[in-house]
A and B are shown apart, each in its own frame.
Chain A
Amino acid sequence: MTLMKRLLGASAVLALSAVAALADPAIIYDVGGKNDKSFNEAAFNGAQRWAAETGGTFKELEMQNEAQREQALRQLAEAGANPIVMTGFAFGDVLNAVAPDYPDTKFAIIDNPVDQPNVQSVVFTEEQGSYLAGIMAGMATKSGVVGFVGGMDIPLIRRFGCGYAQGVVAVKADATIIANMTGTDGSAWNNPVRGAEIAKSQISQKADVIYAAAGNTGVGVLQAAADGGVLSIGVDKNQNYLHPGQVLTSMVKRVDNAVYEAFKSGADLKPGVFVMDLAAGGVDVAMDDNNAALVSPEMKAAVEDAAAKIKSGELKVHDYTSDNTCPAGQF
């Protein structure tokens, strides 16, 4: 019995030290899922890039529902993962509560500024990237009607929509912008059927360019747009390849870079809020072989011109979240 106890104790100590020594970084994906071909998948790609370059391993968790957030976060922190990166604004409140309990663990959150001494927050200026996408939509539309499909109805997504609307109006002052949100809870990120229905409804209202900022729901939007013979705009990750020649562009948000950098700095992760804007390469519109035929030289010139002006500060795109209003229409 005593031998047994000793053996068990020894193995327990071994197991504990193994966990402590590893200190792998960890990433938690939001309910849209790791393979949403958008936001979370971009984060996954960043983590993968880090793993390929360093040969390291990382832990990952996918949220299945809202109730798991705190549990997942604590579980990873207890297991000794460091740093822990989470994708999505929805972790904000939970992180605020959990971070002080694990002062030695570093956390990184994307899309939501969290003010804690061991938390790095990475936010993107989506309004700038969306503005550029809006310029392209405004120049590509023939009917003068463009659509926007948001995921969950939150100020962050309205920021996408508002930037887009400003871009459209900048090149086509009389354009109509139809904006719809998929829903008001987390499932709105993962509902392509509803996304497709919304896109069909917008197409029947004469929209011929539809911008989807809705995670996995956007897959349905892009599909419906391709089926309906109109153009679409992808989001977060370059989605031009999903329907070559039918996706006008993608508003790329370099979530992958944010995750990669956080993993790379490891336990030395710098706390604070980092703003990834157009100038810093945090957001952009994707140009590749798949959409080359859709982008005219004038369109390209207009985008480059606007990008230069935004970078220099000459042109300021209104940020919806700063005052909850949009100068370019109702959101």
Chain B
Amino acid sequence: MDLASFLQILDSTIRLATPLLFACLAGLYSERAGVFDIGLEGKMLVAAFAAAAASYGSGNVWVGVLAGIGAALMFAAIHGLASITFRGNQLISGVAVNFLASGLTVVLGASWFQLGGQTPALVDGMRFAEITLPFAAPANESGDLGLLGGIYSQVLSGHSILVYVALACVPLTWWVLYRTRFGLRLRAVGENPAAVDTAGVSVTGLRYAAVGITGVLCGLAGAYMSMGLSAGFLREMTAGRGYIALAALIFAKWRPWYALMACLLFGLLDAIAIRFQNIDIGVLVIPVQFTQALPYILTVIILAGFVGKAIPPRAGGEAYVKER
């Protein structure tokens, strides 16, 4: 494999990892606060739809982003209401969110645009343009820049703004979680909500805040799906990315920097599966299905405890009951 195709795979990795990274960080906030969220997929989907629809209606990509965040926040509120206020089962609430999103997007899309659940194709101005970083060489001339120049010009440069936002969210999340009072309380509420409550801090408020952040990040993930990666919304376009993000979250053991690594790894696997269909390594041919299944296989291995132990937040999945 030559340098050009290596760089191209990395470039593709960054693009494919971005929605995963947003969704993974979204899940991180929620689960660190003790609210399991398997509704990431649904929130991404509804955000992708709302973003594409609003962007098409207004002709402005930022209106689309706001609509995407708004829609994901609404779905996050449903999840919060069911699992925090009414102390329902968090997994079931998450599943409900997924089903609701999957059905609602198609029904609304079909009635608004008469395209069978799709939105019309978005033209320039309605979707994110690629940003060329300063001093980066144009894409077609980056062959002879050497490794570092190639990485800068081809891999890091030339993505839409949300890609850089996603990357910036990683240190930000780390800082919020480990260096602020809010972060300390957020982590505490996921481990021992009773202690937080005793200290006079509202468990409910903290959990809602976390679920809200989850909504915003899922909104960005969805907006990137429909306005960055592709040009318009399609039925079920998230295609299981929400679940892969959950897998990445477990793989990362609920830590921000590891989440970045896990998402990049899963993005890389996706990029490899796209670039090389069946990989011939001499002795045997690795079928493309294996590469596609690898994220899940790796997660199972991690969960089984072969590579260190993944311990979820202790109070995760349980509604907090103040007194009986």
Contact = CB atoms under 8 A, between A and B. Distances in A.
Nearest to A201: B275
Contacts of B225: 193
B121 A219 contact: yes
Nearest to A29: B116
B101 to A, nearest CB: 15
Given A184-B289, A200-B12, A204-B8, A33 B274 contact: no
Contact residues of A: prevailing secondary structure: helix
Nearest to B292: A183
A242 interface: yes
B16 interface: yes
Contact of B274 (A34, A35, A190, A197): A197
A255 interface: no
Nearest to B7: A204
Given A33-B117, A184-B288, A204-B5, A190 B271 contact: no
A205 B116 contact: no
A223 B4 contact: no
A223 B12 contact: no
B214 interface: no
Contacts of A216: 234
B234 A192 contact: yes
B230 A190 contact: no
Contacts of B234: 190, 192, 216
Contacts of A192: 230, 234, 237
A204 B6 CA distance: 11
Interface residues of A, number: 25
Contacts of A219: 121
Contacts of A180: 274, 277
A92 B206 CA distance: 56
B302 interface: no
A207 B234 CA distance: 27
A62 interface: yes
Interface string B264-279: 0000000100110100
Contacts of A197: 12, 15-16, 271, 274
B153 interface: no
Interface string B200-228: 00000000000000000000000001000
Contacts of B231: 220, 223
Interface string B100-144: 000000000000000111100100000000000000000000000
A187 interface: yes
Nearest to B9: A201
Interface in A167-212: 180-181, 184, 187, 190-194, 196-198, 200-201, 204-205
Interface string A69-86: 000000000000000000
B229 interface: yes
Contacts of A223: 121, 230-231
B283 interface: no
Contacts of A181: 277
B311 interface: no
What are the nearest 9 A-B pairs in CB distance?
A: A204-B8, A35-B116, A35-B115, A34-B116, A193-B229, A193-B230, A192-B230, A197-B274, A201-B275
12 contacts: A33-B118, A34-B116, A181-B277, A184-B289, A190-B235, A192-B234, A192-B237, A196-B229, A197-B12, A201-B8, A201-B12, A242-B121
Given A180-B277, A220-B230, 13 more contacts: A34-B116, A35-B118, A62-B116, A181-B277, A184-B288, A187-B239, A190-B234, A190-B235, A193-B225, A196-B230, A200-B12, A201-B9, A204-B5
